[in-house]
Structure 1
Amino acid sequence: MAGDRNEDEYTPQHYKTLNIQPIYNLAEICHRHGIKDVILSPGSRCAPLTLAFARHPEIECKTISDERSAAFIGLGMSQQTKLPTALVCTSGSAALNYAPAIAEAYFQHIPLLVLTADRPPEWIDQYDGQTIRQRDIYGKHVKESYQLPVDLENEESEWHCYRMLSEAINTSLEYPAGPVHINLPFREPFYPQKDQITSYNKAVKVITQTGSRPVLPESELKSLIDRWQNTQRKLIIGGQGSLDDKLASILEQLSATQKVPIIGDILSNLHQVDEVIAHSDVFLGQGKKGLAESLQPNLIVTFGKSTISKNLKLFLRNHPAVEHWHIQPAGSAADTFKSLTEVLHTTPEIFFSKLVETPPNEDFNTQKQENFYHLWVIEERKVRRVRESFFPQESLGEFEIVNEILEKTTDAHVHLANSMAVRYANFIGLNPNQSVEVFSNRGTSGIDGCTSTAVGSSMASQKTTILITGDVAFFYDRNAFWHNYDLKHLKIVLLNNHAGGIFRMIQGPADQPELEEFFETRQTLSAKHLAEEFKVHYINCDKRSKLKNQIKEFFESSGPVILEIESDSQQNKEILASFKEAYRLLD
């Protein structure tokens, strides 16, 4: 909530007529496109939109006062529903507070419909209250930006509004999905009179869009399969993506029959694939002599979005493949590993199914490929052996807590906050039999909305939502709880080392005398008072003797719960270093 929401005062002559019907029709168009969820942030200039959505019988509205948190909550909801959540705010700095979540949605390919109320154009740059330059305010971090006409008194203007709204919603959903922005300037008056009758026009113009199924031409597909069969040292990499049982089954079959190593970190949600290479970040970061050269691929095939591992990126940039094919349904692709040669406009399911249907040639290349596969699998198994025997350590640290939580989690959504939480979880991984889907704000990798995103996800899903987060990310986003809605599915594991512990883990800041004051920014906060304030069950664990019972209490709690683990930042660094050293010593 930004600025003075009630600065506009009206005398009776203000209330001449308000043509609010077109705004009500905009809400109806959203409903007809399948939009069910709207996040409203209180304001006066956005009153026509607020009323239109709040009064619609088929749309569920929630009021979130902090626009930054509101936008991330909307992102979390869209993450689950796969439909745009509409965000509505007033004019001025309120719109700017949406920006972090909009950027995250853009790079994560999550649809959002962003509706910002605005002053009319004649009052921009005239020192009018709560007025900034809102047109195209999000720049290139939205798929498209639209400016609605300010006058809605004629059929042409109405048609223009309706057409743009349908276009915006369709654009948000077409590949790659993402946020779209509609700026709506309103002149006064924008509150209807007390007895003014409004309704929703069921015959309002709606433009729908049917998606196409991206299939490669047969001649092109045959050429790719021939090259695939005649290439040795092939590698498949899955980036961040949704849990997909069918795709996992296809990839497992391909890996088993054609001996192709498949890399998938915890955010790829490929843990169901037997022998998936989930711990490349550990073994590629150890600098073992000759290992990089032995693992260098000739062909990599990628799909999905970003990968967590900096070590994997550096490995493939320093030891590039001859060919790199990236699979996505449409559009240009990122050249993350500096080796991209072809973009295949199809889906992973279609393409890998074709490879499975094609039996491999029984020749020298096949044997080379099998040897290459076993080199990757051997290193992966070493890390898994270390992980299985590493805990418990003498001192209770964050790494062990994350291991305990992940091992005991099933039939749930897991959200991983940025900084160390997502890295700990990636070092540990998941087992093939765990029915868990993992999410993280790795579009921009910021800490600012990790809790709010998990809150939104828990609102939109009936599954348990478990957030594993660090103290800086958690306290930075405390307004995620500032609302009146039930969070009965939400469980939070708070790793509180009273500092930004990641700065002890990365080279550079850890060696500087300014580490504690200017990088870690140490603090003494506890979640206890926040939990009391927002009526969340609170558990504090500072001893190993409490851990077993408290984790049991955490999972069995019927409402929202925070399990806070207090630990020492330096000790956490040493434990993680010991884990990596245990892998290195296996040889």
Structure 2
Amino acid sequence: MSAAIQTMWTELIAATLADAGVATCVISPGSRSTPLVTALVADGRLELPNIIDERAAAFFALGVARATGVPAALVCTSGSATAHYLPALVEASLAGVPLVVLTADRPPELQQCGASQTIDQVDLYGAFVREAFDLGAPVGTAIAMRAVRRKLSQAISLARGPRPGPVHINVPLRKPLEPAQPSTDGERALARTVASLCHTPVTAPTPTLVAGDDAIDQLAAAIAAEPRGVVIAGAMPAKFAAAREAVFDLAIRAGYPLLAEASSQLRFGPRPPQLAAIDQFDLVLAAPTLAGAPAPRLIIQIGSEPVAAGWMAAQPSLADVPRYVLADHEWRDPDSSARAVIVGDVASSLARITARLSLVESRTSFAASWSSVDARVGGAVNRALASHPRSEGAVLRAALGAAPAHTVVQIGNSLPIRVVDLVVGGGAPHVVLSQRGAAGIDGLIASAAGASRAGKPVLLVLGDVSFAHDLGGLLAARESMTPLAIVVVDNGGGRIFNGLPIARTNPGAAFDKHFTTAPGIDPAAVALALGARAVSATSPAAVASAVTAALASTGPTVIHAPVTATGAQDVRRDALDLLATSSATTRPSSPHVIAGVS
């Protein structure tokens, strides 16, 4: 093999990525990947953000693909660099986010012999990738070049579906690694073959799963026969925002209230007046006897299992209620109690179910009863928030209330993803990104920075522990293309553990050391040291002002928002107490809805 053949090999890889629709390739520096990087630069069609830390680079690419729906690529050198991709690939695999991972490798003659920076990279990521391809060392034949283009196209198609997710392409490369021009008749002939291949269209379609008619008929019949049902929606990908009207139409036709988490893409934005949107469903489900709401006799679940504590608390009383799950490409039934899991494009399934239903006027009373309860619970939440103005909920309401329409909102795991549904809903439309595949706290800053590549301002709300976990993500945030507001809700550690059984065992100092784990850092000072803008905001009004300013300036701004240590638990407890003592006939307005949109 000559250097010229290797150059053509990697140029074909770069060209195929671009031809197949990949727009971004995140590069981490290294020597063995030199041929890939020089080919990508020479091609010139892909955005090439450069991020030193491979872990942050992978989460950045995850954010790009999650926000755009288009596969994003990664390139790194050989050895341990490749292993740093794994956490993001785990999330991408479980959340169905398309990534194309290209790892440079040593050639076969340097394997299993103690060569520097050499590990076994074949099948490195196991079951977390949809397919793993090892291209082998470059070969100077026409069929080998055709196979490179075919394998890249095949990999990108697999990344898109029918189970979207990451794919791995291992690329062994030999020295010399620098690009070289053809110098022999055979090399020049091969170069003409490669040029011809690059002018041949690439087919990397998006395969989709479609639910069978029998499953659709079964669910439609169940809805038609049962007037007392609810639709509950967990995490769904950003593209599901386009299916909002289909969900609303189904709920209205069935006469079912809609219980939508922020991550479902259904919670924010205008909603039809006929729709019973139950923004306070978490507390409704947590309250005794559903706070007076009539019990459902059928549950339609869209997407992932809800994270709401109320959903889990209500499970014993809902155990005998038939539940049907609509899921795009994975089986979503962790407690093994669903009557049926219908796997297939959810938007398509919803439209087909609705087409089998007719509007039944007499069904409006069930949904109206839930709306009445929702308004009463919303009033209790508002009063509880007024008593705890420096709580997580107050900060989240202020931050999201300040975000202009169509800001991409990313909500961190642990408390933020659970608190947000208690305090905001309706209002301006937002796509909501969440990391609910593996539900980890890692890579949140880097992935939010990647989301900026979709071309819209990004608001990230995360906790202080999550912020400390991804300090390297602040360096990746330099690659943000739009305003990126990072609100650090600082309650002095992992306060979600305060609500878990371990907190009631009186563990003493060990609890703070091993569970609360307060980072003990100043987020604003850290951000400034790493080149980001930073401000401290000690009240909800200050948070709103800081978010407004941050979303008007390109690049990252860290907003440090200190809150009380137990604010989230205090608001929830007080709201439930107020609800228990309030009159069932009290129906306050719903100021928990942002901008007055119901």
> What's the TM-score once normalised by structure 1's chain length?
0.86
Distance in 2 (alpha carbons) for counterparts of 1:64 and 1:548: 31
Q: 1:106, 1:141 within 8 Å by CA — same for their partners in 2?
A: yes
- Between Structure 1 and Structure 2, the one with more helix by share is 2
Distance in 1 (alpha carbons) for counterparts of 2:511 and 2:46: 49
Tell me, yes or no, if structure 1 residue 479 matches structure 2 residue 472: yes
Structure 1 residues 389-428: Cα deviation after superposition (integer angstroms, max 9, x where no partner)? 4443355233211111122223211111112222221222
- Who is 2:534 aligned against? 538
Cα distance, 1:462 vs structure 2: 2.5
Tell me, yes or no, if structure 1 residue 466 matches structure 2 residue 459: yes
AA of the residue aligned to 1:233: R
Q: Which of residues 95, 120, 130 in structure 2 aligns to 1:133?
A: 120
Task: Write the mapping of 1:65-464 to structure 2, written as runs, cut at 5 A.
Answer: 65-193=52-180, 201=195, 203-204=197-198, 207-211=202-206, 221-222=216-217, 224-241=219-236, 242=238, 244=240, 247-271=243-267, 272=269, 273=271, 274-286=275-287, 288=288, 290-291=289-290, 297-313=296-312, 315-316=314-315, 319-321=318-320, 323-328=322-327, 331=329, 333-344=331-342, 346-358=344-356, 360=358, 372-393=366-387, 395-411=389-405, 412-431=407-426, 433-458=427-452, 460-464=453-457
Unaligned segments of structure 1, at least 5 residues: 1-13
Cα distance, 1:220 vs structure 2: 6.4
Q: 2:227, 2:255 within 8 Å by CA — same for their partners in 1?
A: no
Structure 1, 191-200 or 68-77: larger mean CA deviation: 191-200
- Who is 1:502 aligned against? 496
Q: 2:525, 2:534 within 8 Å by CA — same for their partners in 1?
A: no
Cα–Cα, structure 1 residues 519 and 16, in superposed 2: closer, same or farther, change >3 Å? closer
Structure 1, 199-208 or 493-502: larger mean CA deviation: 199-208
AA of the residue aligned to 2:472: N
3-state SS, counterpart of residue 508 of structure 1: helix
Cα distance, 1:135 vs structure 2: 1.2
Distance in 2 (alpha carbons) for counterparts of 1:397 and 1:445: 23
3-state SS, counterpart of residue 536 of structure 2: strand
Percent identity among equivalent residues? 24
Tell me, yes or no, if structure 1 residue 20 matches structure 2 residue 7: yes
Q: RMSD between aligned alpha carbons?
A: 3.2
Cα distance, 1:559 vs structure 2: 4.9
AA of the residue aligned to 2:278: I
Structure 1, 263-272 or 34-43: larger mean CA deviation: 263-272
Cα distance, 1:90 vs structure 2: 1.0
Q: 1:143, 1:180 within 8 Å by CA — same for their partners in 2?
A: yes
Q: 1:498, 1:525 within 8 Å by CA — same for their partners in 2?
A: no
Q: 1:281, 1:311 within 8 Å by CA — same for their partners in 2?
A: yes
Q: 2:330, 2:343 within 8 Å by CA — same for their partners in 1?
A: no
Distance in 1 (alpha carbons) for counterparts of 2:371 and 2:85: 44
Unaligned segments of structure 2, at least 5 residues: 584-598
Cα distance, 1:253 vs structure 2: 3.3
Structure 1 residues 167-211: Cα deviation after superposition (integer angstroms, max 9, x where no partner)? 100000112211111111223332235998989735246651445
Q: Which of residues 514, 517, 526 in structure 2 aligns to 1:521?
A: 517
| Greater relative contact order, per chain length (Cα 8 Å cut-off, separation 6+) | 2
AA of the residue aligned to 2:94: F
Cα distance, 1:499 vs structure 2: 1.8
Distance in 2 (alpha carbons) for counterparts of 1:512 and 1:532: 37
Cα–Cα, structure 1 residues 68 and 547, in superposed 2: closer, same or farther, change >3 Å? closer
Cα distance, 1:102 vs structure 2: 0.6
Tell me, yes or no, if structure 1 residue 581 matches structure 2 residue 577: yes
Distance in 1 (alpha carbons) for counterparts of 2:544 and 2:234: 34
Q: 1:36, 1:59 within 8 Å by CA — same for their partners in 2?
A: yes
Structure 1 residues 215-257: Cα deviation after superposition (integer angstroms, max 9, x where no partner)? 6666765555334312343332222123656532233333334
AA of the residue aligned to 1:336: P
Distance in 2 (alpha carbons) for counterparts of 1:344 and 1:582: 39
Q: 2:401, 2:544 within 8 Å by CA — same for their partners in 1?
A: no
Cα distance, 1:384 vs structure 2: 1.9
3-state SS, counterpart of residue 377 of structure 2: helix
Tell me, yes or no, if structure 1 residue 492 matches structure 2 residue 493: no
- Who is 1:43 aligned against? 30
Q: 1:28, 1:202 within 8 Å by CA — same for their partners in 2?
A: no
- Who is 1:9 aligned against? none
Cα distance, 1:276 vs structure 2: 2.0
> What's the TM-score once normalised by structure 2's chain length?
0.85
